[in-house]
Amino acid sequence: MIQHLAIIMDGNGRWAEQRGLSRSEGHRAGARAISGVARAALKAGIRYMTVYAFSTENWKRPKAEVTTLMGLISEFAVSELPNMMKDGVRLRTIGRTNDLPFAARTALLRTIDLTAKNDKLILTVALSYGGRAEIVDAVNRIIAEKRTAPVTEQDFTSYLYAPDIPDPDLLIRTGGEKRLSNFLLWELSYAELYVTDTYWPDFDEKELQKALASFGGRKRRFGGLNEQNQ
């Protein structure tokens, strides 16, 4: 049974180009897809879903594209609030979110606050996020505490962005690329990987069920000899 699903939402730009649309329209379609997949995850009994929306490297993209993405973040936080309240979805974010523009931060914080008591699905959006940046930030928090005792893996985990959320069981990457792209480098240590050529805007409940069926046929050993059937 999957408790935590992580997704690298790739292919928005290519989806748009194939249809003669702007990259902005691809990102807009990708934002809409999050809601449908979140509802499908709820139906599947998944408790946590983390999506990679904007990386620390994405700031290097053309200014117009970044501006569009920041606007979509604000729109998503506002437009999806009624659905989140109805479906019991709690919104959270991870990453260096203080780097986001004021309007995007304000919209996100309002929705985070209003959905804080929802408990059916914890939807975490990674924004201005990088796996290496998360590890560096954790190390700097440890240094700031002037800690002298040795640090265990469990200790280190407590300094990450979302230490209360269990590690992902399954990572889905859409768009066909086969790399982690600096996403949840610590947390994905023993996650199962599922890559599909389907672009993110076309990823729906049917596609999610394919991924879950693949996961169901895996045998997870977590580095040991005992097999755990899913």
Active site residues: 10, 58
Distance CA 190, CA 125 (A): 21
| Kind plus residue range of the DSSP H or E element containing 34 | helix 23-43
CB atoms under 10 Å from CB of 39, counted, come to 15
Q: CA angle, 181 as apex, 189 and 128 as ends, to 5°?
A: 105
Distance of CA 199 to the CA centre of its chain: 16
Cβ neighbour number for residue 119 with a 10 Å cutoff: 11
The gap from C-alpha 30 to its chain's centroid, in whole angstroms, comes to: 13
Cβ contacts of 191 within 8 Å, gap of 6 or more: 6, 167, 168, 169, 170, 171
Cα(99)–Cα(90) distance, rounded to whole angstroms? 22
Q: How far apart are the C-alpha atoms of 210 and 81, rounded to whole Å?
A: 28
Helix (H, G, I), strand (E, B) or coil at 99: helix
